[in-house]
Structure 1
Amino acid sequence: MDALHAIVLGIVQGATELLPVSSTGHVRIVPAFLGWEDPGAAFTAVTQLGTMSAILLYFRQDLWNIASAWLRSLRDPSLRGTLDVRLGWFIIVGTIPVSVFGLAFSTTIEDGARNLYLIATVLIVLGLVLLLAERVGKRERSLEDLTLRDGILIGFAQALALIPGVSRSGATITMGLFLNLDRPTAARYSFLLSVPAVVLSGLFEMRHISDGDGAGFGPTLLATVLAFAVGYATIGFLLRWISTHSFGIFVAYRVAIGSLVLVLVSAGAIS
């Protein structure tokens, strides 16, 4: 992988990781459109550490409050009913499904699940599911209303993002809407929940980054830095957008890009 490829894919990763459109799918689709080699699952997982760093910076106060309150609650039972402590437990519980399934199906994720037919189909199907969640969700619950049941269900939704094309933020936001969370709450909790899963995935895959025909350390580092910068800007954009708009634009985009990929793959134009 040369510098140009790294720059383009770093920008793609940063722009799509936090939007409900699947960064993993796009990091597979864009090279196919441009005639480049698939950068591989390791490259995708490691560059996600860039966007994760953006989340850590953007939500640093929230994350500090949650972590510090959770640790203090281990010694002080009177703190265990507070929102920050409950969020800490919900994030821990919600990370278990993606960790278990990620380890169990790591070979499939790294190889067979990067099929363009699968990615395109999942983009369309999950886009329509997001549209349904927009239509039926009452959007009447805030962060303070989250329960352990919500944390478990959103955690299992996050595990679906192991399939390229699903979108981790898309799956968790969609489940949040089905659970009647308002849009900003669904997105905010999605970002907070992502921290352990993405960090663990990136560190786990880092060992493969220079294997065989992999992207190599230098291009991966460049792409990761760009993913951080673009990702930080994307967080602010998304939170502002959904404060006054629905997720409809992302549904339309998912269906359009998925349909285009299916047509091009069927015609043999991309592979």
Structure 2
Amino acid sequence: METFQIVILALIQGITEFLPISSSAHLILPNQVLGWPDQGLAFDVAVHFGSLMAVLIYFRKDVWHLICDGLGGFKTGQFSDEGRLAWLIVLATIPAGLVGLAFKDFIETHLRSSAVIAATTIIFGLLLWWADVYGKRLDGLSKLNWKKALMIGAAQALALIPGTSRSGITMTAGLMLGMKREAAARFSFLMSIPVIALSALLLTLELLDTQAVPWGSIFLGVILSGISAYLCIHFFLQFISRIGMAPFAIYRLLLGAVLIWLIVSA
């Protein structure tokens, strides 16, 4: 890829990774509309690592307390709110991990199509809108229990289908279970840490089998995706209580319509 293409794709990945609008839907547009080449495995590793660094840095204090209190609870026999939340995040990660291991090849072979991405972009956009309008939005993270965490984790497993949006479907599930917007978004972002870390690890292991690694592109992708993802998290959490999910749902519907138009006109 050319430097300009690397910059644009890294920014797209960093921004859309944490917004409920589907990164996979956006990454096919440059290829479909502009004829850009596929970004390749090395670039995927770079932008995943950049996103991981962004969420770790932004939530560094939270992550530290989650780790310390989560492990410390075994010594005292009592778990603080942070310690309990840490293990709820672990629990919520299990469904996506199991489904990913079981169906990774099937998803890669049969579901990475423009038609699937267009359909999921629209369907889960409507579901996001419905959850935001009809969800009670009363509960904070302190009210989250293992049943709700597991249900949100099961929803996260659906994000393995391209176009669903990991952040979108987990926020949707949180809102449907009565969580406040900020709480649903924060839990979604914290849940992303083990999922993105595992994804980056698997991609890195695959990358080791390749002969040439474009280190310049990797470094640029890490930096740009990390900065854009950090800013995205910050501003999303700042404004989500005021703007709600409707703008993102409407955007998903428009994006889905564009994808359908591209498919029909191809």
Matches within 5 A, 1:109-128: 109-128=107-126
How far 1:241 sits from its partner (Å)?
1.6
Contact in 2 for aligned 1:24/1:44 (Cα 8 Å)? no
How far 1:55 sits from its partner (Å)?
0.7
What TM-score, normalized by structure 1, do the two folds share?
Answer: 0.92
Paired letter, 2:144: L
How far 1:16 sits from its partner (Å)?
0.6
Aligned counterparts of 2:100 and 2:174: Cα–Cα separation in 1:
22
Where has structure 1 moved over 4 Å in runs of 4 or more? 210-217
Aligned-residue identity in percent:
38
How far 1:29 sits from its partner (Å)?
2.5
Contact in 1 for aligned 2:46/2:221 (Cα 8 Å)? no
Contact in 2 for aligned 1:41/1:110 (Cα 8 Å)? no
Equivalent residue for 1:226? 224
How far 1:2 sits from its partner (Å)?
2.8
Given the alignment of the two structures, is residue 8 of structure 1 paired with residue 12 of structure 2, yes or no? no
Aligned counterparts of 2:24 and 2:2: Cα–Cα separation in 1:
20
How far 1:182 sits from its partner (Å)?
0.5
Given the alignment of the two structures, is residue 139 of structure 1 paired with residue 152 of structure 2, yes or no? no
Equivalent residue for 1:242? 240
Contact in 2 for aligned 1:154/1:175 (Cα 8 Å)? yes
How far 1:49 sits from its partner (Å)?
2.0
Aligned counterparts of 2:158 and 2:166: Cα–Cα separation in 1:
7
Equivalent residue for 1:35? 35
CA 1:149–1:209 in 2, change beyond 3 Å: closer, same or farther?
A: same
Q: 2:200 aligns with which of 191, 199, 202?
A: 202
Matches within 5 A, 1:8-157: 8-40=8-40, 43-44=43-44, 46-77=46-77, 79-80=78-79, 82-157=80-155
What TM-score, normalized by structure 2, do the two folds share?
Answer: 0.94
Aligned counterparts of 2:155 and 2:46: Cα–Cα separation in 1:
22
Number of aligned residues: 266
Aligned counterparts of 2:171 and 2:40: Cα–Cα separation in 1:
26
RMSD (Å), alpha carbons: 1.9
Contact in 1 for aligned 2:42/2:218 (Cα 8 Å)? no
**Structure 1 gaps, min length 5:** none
Paired letter, 2:75: R
Paired letter, 1:57: I
How far 1:51 sits from its partner (Å)?
1.2
**Structure 2 gaps, min length 5:** none
Q: 1:256 aligns with which of 248, 254, 257?
A: 254
Aligned counterparts of 2:116 and 2:262: Cα–Cα separation in 1:
13
Paired letter, 2:169: A
Instruction: Give the SS at the match of 1:74.
Output: helix
Aligned counterparts of 1:25 and 1:210: Cα–Cα separation in 2:
27
Contact in 1 for aligned 2:14/2:224 (Cα 8 Å)? yes
Deviation digits for residues 1-56 of structure 1, max 9, x if unmatched?
Answer: 23222111100001111100011221222322221123256643541221121110
CA 1:128–1:214 in 2, change beyond 3 Å: closer, same or farther?
A: farther
